[in-house]
Structure 1
Amino acid sequence: MTCSALDRVLRAAAGITAAFVVMALVGSANAADMPIKAVPMKAPFAPSFSWTGFYAGVHAGWGFNDPAGTSTATGAGITGLTAQHNLDSNGPLFGGHAGYNWQINPRLVIGIEGDITGTGIKTSSAQTPLCSASNPQCAPGQPINGGVMTMSQEVNWLASIRGRLGTTWGPGLIYVTGGAAWANVDSKAATGDAGFNCSSPGGGCSYAATGNATRSGFVVGAGYETALAGNWTVRAEYLYYSFGGETLTAAGTPQTSCGGGLAPPCITTSTFPDLNIHTVRAGLTYKLGQPAGAPFAAFAPRTAAAARSWTGFYAGLDAGWGWGNSTGTSIVSVPGDQNAMIAEHDLGNNGPLFGGHLGYNWQIDPRWVAGIEGDITGTGIKVSSAQTPVCPRDTCGPAPGRPVPGALMSLSQEVNWLASIRGRLGVTFGPGMLYATGGVAWANVDYKSNLGDGAYLCDLPGCGFQSASNTTKTGWVAGGGYETALIGNWTVRAEYLYYSFDGETLTAAATTAAACTGAGYASCTATSTFSDLKIHTARAGVSYRF
């Protein structure tokens, strides 16, 4: 799974249902002196499923949006630099819901539902700014190689309280829903100005701004829910969320250096547009209280006399959360000094998971089960970091180790999907199976870096360094879990998996290399190193054995 249209449009599968039949015969009757042939009579129909009652459940799916952002640097009321950002984002969803339904009549159902959903919907963008038409110091549209403008946005969770109105359709309920919604969002922006709106020498200015806000908005959507067995139902639904945007404004650091031909102070403004999120998700729900109808025959539990066998093919879905704690290092080098400017990055990351699995089990004996399983999982595990570098030696003048405010170094890492082929070895334990698993794994990862040198090692207008890669890494995975029968051929599981992959190094030549000769240095280069990728995952799954 990649960050393409296929990622952004994840199709959630609707639940599978089956019909049920109740059959009976009434015994015969006898008269006093002569037998009378028994009269066959139809048994009354079993009551149909009733939707009335409280319920609670879990859901998983995918969310996506396609906004754009704008960064501007302004001095003396004149917009000097500007950058446009593609903030297209997507990621998995995992959460819970609860509510109450009233079945008004055999056809209509109304209800109210609340939900909260953790999301992996994140995005980051690092762009070299352009000179605006109102800036007297550079040509309109000229790239400012020594400047880097970054924006990032992360939707931590979504919540809503919604009404539902449905009509019975076949064995299930087709419904529309809408109400109030909330989103908790982290927004970050940073800008390194390579001296155009700032005094030089002195390296220009840097700007950083952050915000965390719980935004209010609305949500509308529709779905289909159908009875599964007993009190269980499954659903598939689409929800559209809409929230307002956000603007972050930062003062220059330090403001007094932001002259550069324009009166101080310099400020940057980063505008995040309205946040409109599309989600598709599937859910499993349990209705509290006694079921109103008999379970569907296709999903009826086995008799007690039938001992469960794990042997056979199976397939299912899983959802959960993944996290890691990587680090990164950005270095600008010149001949004779391989660490002229350096920045350290904390790349701790996390996000939801959603995927599918299939495999085959062999029950060797009543206690032991061996098997093989393959899976693929879309992830929302993303991280970005923008840091002002330091000059560790005397390259930057009389104060080694000082921050370089005119430079900004950014790294980003995004795990698009994980896949594995694993062996499983389990032992029956209670009503289920306790198992260990391990094998070969793959991860598709996007790496990006963008380094702007604010004229410390480069002649004005400074140097810009950009590099990126998309790679599918091979590694290994190991873990364990517990799986137990749910009903019929259905099982549920909970498992932990640990993935390990090598790191990545990106190296970019300066653009334009010929400009990177400040203070007599030859051309500059930049190297960004990402540490080994270690991912912990905890996930739950449901499987069907064929």
Structure 2
Amino acid sequence: MLRSSAIVSLAAAVGTVLGSCASLAADLPRAYTKAPPVDQAPPSWSGCYLGGNVGAGWDKTHSDGTGFASEVFVPPFDYGSSSGSAVIGGGQIGCDYQFASNWIIGIQVKADFGKITSSNAVAPFPGITASYQLKNTEEVTARLGYAVAPAVLAYVKGGVAWANAGASALALPVLAENASFTRTGYTVGGGLEWKFAPGWSVFGEYNYLDFGTKSTNLYATGLIPAFGTAGALADTISLRLRSQEALVGVNYRFD
């Protein structure tokens, strides 16, 4: 009888202890199990974009005088070469398509503004200075790129370029003749673009633009009688015009 009573008492004590442990465990904070991460698809370069750019532009010219008024120079006079630089900036719009995993093709329209001025002394005519202005350029290019990383694109580009430019001659230092003209040429270049946030990318690129060698007429201002009356044909030159650009920019992508 005593043994039975002891067993019953021990069982009751054990039950009390277990009940207390269970109650205590229920009051403890539950461990949080983090959901497994969801795999995100790599960023795609397919889509269209709009953006702006800023950088440096350089021009280089060489001209030969082929005639003055009705006089033809045989052989042409070497009027010399010039080069200049300036800050330029503008904008671009385009579309890309990603294919074959990492390859991207696209088309872009870009315009940049900022007057680049260069000048040189005209050796055959002491006291005369030739001056040139590259006012703005426009480009339509195709580009081919490769995603060296999901968010990093290396690319090359090329296409048609247009330039709005001017030429003038100063005589001690009065403006004697001038002209404004447009040129059509080609451009090639390349760069890197990085998607740093959803919908946004930054890029850096270099472009070379060549507008060839073409004949250009300059007209008298009437301020120097030896160059003729205002509006009269004064000078005819053969002018070669080239330009370079180093740009950085940002694009907003509608992808």
CA pair 310-336 structure 1, distance change in 2 beyond 3 A: closer
CA pair 318-330 structure 1, distance change in 2 beyond 3 A: same
Q: Distance in 2 between matches of 1:335 and 1:371?
A: 49
Q: How far is 1:344 from its partner?
A: 3.0
In the alignment, is residue 415 of structure 1 matched against residue 126 of structure 2? no
Q: Distance in 1 between matches of 2:108 and 2:72?
A: 51
* Matched pairs, number: 211
* 8 A contact 2:65–2:238 mirrored in 1: no
Residue 10 of structure 2: aligned partner: none
Secondary structure of the equivalent of 1:531? strand
* 8 A contact 1:420–1:477 mirrored in 2: yes
Q: Deviations over 1:237-281 (max 9, x none)?
A: xxxxxxxxxxxxxxxxxxxxxxxxxxxxxxxxxxxxxxxxxxxxx
Q: Distance in 1 between matches of 2:160 and 2:146?
A: 22
Question: Which protein is bigger by CA-based radius of gyration?
Answer: 2
Residue 80 of structure 2: aligned partner: 345
Q: How far is 1:329 from its partner?
A: 3.7
Q: How far is 1:442 from its partner?
A: 0.9
1:367 to 87, 102, 110: 102
The answer to which structure has the higher strand fraction is: 2
In the alignment, is residue 541 of structure 1 matched against residue 249 of structure 2? yes
In the alignment, is residue 306 of structure 1 matched against residue 16 of structure 2? no
Residue 436 of structure 1: aligned partner: 156
Residue 183 of structure 2: aligned partner: 473
Correspondences of 1:29-428 after superposition (within 5 Å):
305-330=40-65, 338=73, 344-387=79-122, 389=124, 407-428=126-147
Correspondences of 1:521-536 after superposition (within 5 Å):
527-536=235-244
Structure 1, unpaired ranges of 5+ = 1-31, 36-302, 391-406, 453-463, 516-524
CA pair 451-308 structure 1, distance change in 2 beyond 3 A: same
Q: How far is 1:500 from its partner?
A: 1.2
Q: Distance in 2 between matches of 1:429 and 1:333?
A: 56
Identity fraction in percent: 27
CA pair 365-451 structure 1, distance change in 2 beyond 3 A: same
Q: Distance in 2 between matches of 1:358 and 1:336?
A: 47
Q: How far is 1:491 from its partner?
A: 0.9
Q: How far is 1:376 from its partner?
A: 0.7
Residue 35 of structure 2: aligned partner: none
The answer to which structure has the higher helix fraction is: 2
User: What TM-score do you get using the length of structure 1 for normalisation?
Assistant: 0.35
CA pair 477-324 structure 1, distance change in 2 beyond 3 A: same
* 8 A contact 2:194–2:201 mirrored in 1: yes
* 8 A contact 2:192–2:205 mirrored in 1: yes
Secondary structure of the equivalent of 1:543? strand
In the alignment, is residue 490 of structure 1 matched against residue 200 of structure 2? yes
Q: Could you say what the CA RMSD is over the residues aligned between the two structures, in angstroms?
A: 3.4
Q: Distance in 1 between matches of 2:217 and 2:69?
A: 17
- Runs of 4 or more, structure 1, over 6 Å off, are 334-337
Secondary structure of the equivalent of 1:532? strand
CA pair 449-506 structure 1, distance change in 2 beyond 3 A: farther
Residue 19 of structure 2: aligned partner: none
Structure 2, unpaired ranges of 5+ = 1-22, 27-37
Q: Distance in 2 between matches of 1:344 and 1:416?
A: 21
